[in-house]
């Protein structure tokens, strides 16, 4: 019973995320490109592939439990992308905290 509830909940997360992404492809494409993990061309391709894959995994999780491993792999992919961006932001903020502002920077007086 608990496993079914968990599987259904994760299926809804995948399905709702896919539907939200597909509502505005241009915005989602820009969001994927902003991660700067993939070249722009591959990010564009990934942004068109990921939502249908998410939706398919969500549907398969409701119907059967054979999508558990693909769902886990996709969650690991998303987690890795977020971790890479958090690490990059931490590097940027630590450099910005140490580096003095440039003398001729626009907006600084």
For 27-40, the pLDDT digits (tens) are: 999 989 988 888 99
Q: Which residue has the tokens 């070249």?
A: 39
What tokens were used for 21? 């992404």
* Percent above pLDDT 90 for the chain: 45
**How does the average pLDDT of the chain come out, rounded?**
84
Report the alpha-carbon angle 76-82-19, nearest 5: 75
Q: Where are the domains of the chain?
A: 2-98
């Amino acid at each position: 019973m608990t496993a079914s509830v968990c599987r259904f909940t994760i299926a809804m997360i995948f399905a709702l995320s896919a539907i939200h992404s597909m509502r505005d492809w241009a915005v989602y494409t820009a969001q994927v490109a902003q991660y700067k993990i993939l070249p722009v061309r591959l990010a564009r391709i990934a942004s068109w592939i990921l939502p249908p894959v998410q939706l398919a995994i969500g549907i398969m999780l409701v119907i059967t439990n054979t999508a558990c491993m693909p769902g886990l792999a996709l969650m690991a992919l998303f987690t890795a992308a977020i971790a890479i961006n958090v690490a990059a932001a931490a590097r940027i903020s630590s450099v910005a905290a140490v580096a003095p502002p440039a003398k001729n920077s626009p907006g600084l007086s």
